[in-house]
Amino acid sequence: MILQTAIAGVSGRMGRVLLETVAADSGCALCAAIDRPGSPLVGQDAGIAWGAASGVRVTDQPAIALQGAQALIDFTRPEATFAYLDACVAVGVPLVIGTTGFDDAGKARIAGAAQRIPIVFAPNMSVGVNLLMKLAELAAQVLEDGYDIEIIEAHHRHKVDAPSGTALGLGQAVAGAINRDLASCAVYGREGVTGERDPKTIGFATVRGGDIVGDHTLLFAGVGERVELTHKASSRATFAQGALRAAKWLQGRAPGLYDMRDVLNLK
C-alpha cells in the first residue's frame, strides 16, 4: 500500500528534508504540502524545495488539504502544531509530531486529541536516539549509586528551545528508571558559587552554534571512571526516515498517544 502522506511546515529545514524523503520512498506518496499563511511557497509546486516537480501545490488550508491523507507529519512550532492537531482531529487523520518545546498544557492538549485519533509524539524520531533512550534506562539502573548524571546537548544556532526535547526525554528516561522526579531534581544551569553537587540531581548543559544537527551525550561520572552514551546526528534525514516509519506504523492503530519506542517495539 502506498501511504498518502501530508507534510506540514514545508518551508522549514525539516519540512524540506521530509519532502525529499517522501519522494525517495517507494512506499509513500505526497498528497498534501502545508505551510503557514503568508509563506512565499503557498501556491507553488512543493517540489521547488528540492528542484523537482511533485504535482502537489503548497497550501495554507490544512483541513482542506488533509482530505484523503493517511498521515500528517509535523515538525514545526507548538503554536502551528495546535492548528494541525485540530485539523487532523476534524478530518480523522493520524498525526506524527516531531515538534518540541511544548509546555505541560500543550502536552495535555495533544493527549486529549489522542483520544480521538492515533498520534505518535516523540522528542526525537531518530531510531538511534530512541535506542539510546532504552540504553539510558538500563545504564541508570546499574549506575544509580556513586555516579553523577549529566546530559549534554548541542544544536545549531537557529534552535529556539533549550534544553532540547531529546535531552529532556533522556532526563525523563533516566529519572523514571531510578524513581526520581525530574521536575524536582533537574539542574538546568550553573553559575557562580553553586556549592557541591547534589548527587541526586540530573544536570543539563546546552550548546548552541553553527549548523550542528543534534548531539546528545548522557554522562555517568563516578570516582575513577566515566560512562558516556552518545548519539550524533549528521543529517536531518535520520529524523525524517524515523517519522515516515512512525506514519506507516500508525496505519490501522486505535486512537491513542504513542511514542517512537512503541513504533520500534522497545518497551
Active site residues: 155, 159
Note the Cα 107 to chain centre separation in Å. 13
Ordered DSSP codes for 66-85 = TTT-SEEEE-S-HHHHHHHH
| Distance, CA of 106 to CA of 78 (rounded, Å) | 8
| Residues 76 and 12 sit within 8 Å (Cβ to Cβ) | yes
| Distance, CA of 134 to CA of 217 (rounded, Å) | 14
Q: Which three cell numbers stand for residue 264?
A: 520500534
| Residues 226 and 150 sit within 8 Å (Cβ to Cβ) | no
As to burial, measured by CB atoms within 10 angstroms (0-12 exposed, 13-18 middle, 19+ buried), residue 172 is middle
Ordered DSSP codes for 222-257 = -SS-EEEEEEEES-THHHHHHHHHHHHHTTTPPSEE
> Which neighbouring-strand residues pair with 267?
none
